């Protein structure tokens, strides 16, 4: 049975917009190649870091929520470690309460988008 996971990673701010999108696309493809289903992907944009990482004070944040086997996480995090474009990453397994909360959060953000559009 597949579990749901949420991964947030921070890319270095020296990347161009196109390079950041390319990096996100690389990891989406990685998940698809490993038979994971990306449920939700959200670009949080350039944000200030709480503390400097590698002498950088900002970074491009991105979130993936996906469904897949637990064995994929080790491979994904190994790919994150090897990628010099990433400053930090974190993957967490979602329980039923976290899944319900993330659905509620997604629906709320969809309503905001339709109101502002």
Q: What is the pTM of this model?
A: 0.85
φ/ψ (deg, to 5) at 24: -60, -45
Predicted local distance difference test score (pLDDT) of residue 114: 64
Domains of the chain: 3-116 (3.30.70.60)
User: What residues are paired with 105 via a beta bridge?
Assistant: none
Q: What is the full per-residue pLDDT of the chain (117 aa) written as tens digits?
A: 678 999 999 999 999 989 999 999 999 999 999 999 999 999 999 999 999 999 999 999 999 999 999 899 999 999 999 999 999 999 999 998 888 888 888 887 776 666 665
CB distance 12 to 85 below 8 Å? yes
């Amino acid at each position: 049975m597949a579990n749901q996971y949420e991964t947030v990673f921070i890319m270095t701010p020296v990347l161009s917009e196109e390079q950041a999108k390319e990096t996100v696309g690389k990891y989406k493809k990685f998940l698809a190649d490993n038979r994971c289903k990306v449920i939700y992907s959200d670009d949080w944009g350039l944000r200030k870091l709480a503390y400097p990482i590698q002498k950088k004070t900002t970074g491009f944040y991105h979130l993936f929520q996906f469904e897949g086997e637990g064995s994929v996480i080790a491979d994904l995090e190994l790919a994150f470690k090897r990628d010099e474009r990433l400053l930090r990453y974190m993957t967490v397994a979602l329980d039923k309460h976290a899944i319900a909360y993330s659905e509620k959060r997604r629906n709320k953000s969809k309503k905001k988008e339709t109101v502002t559009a």
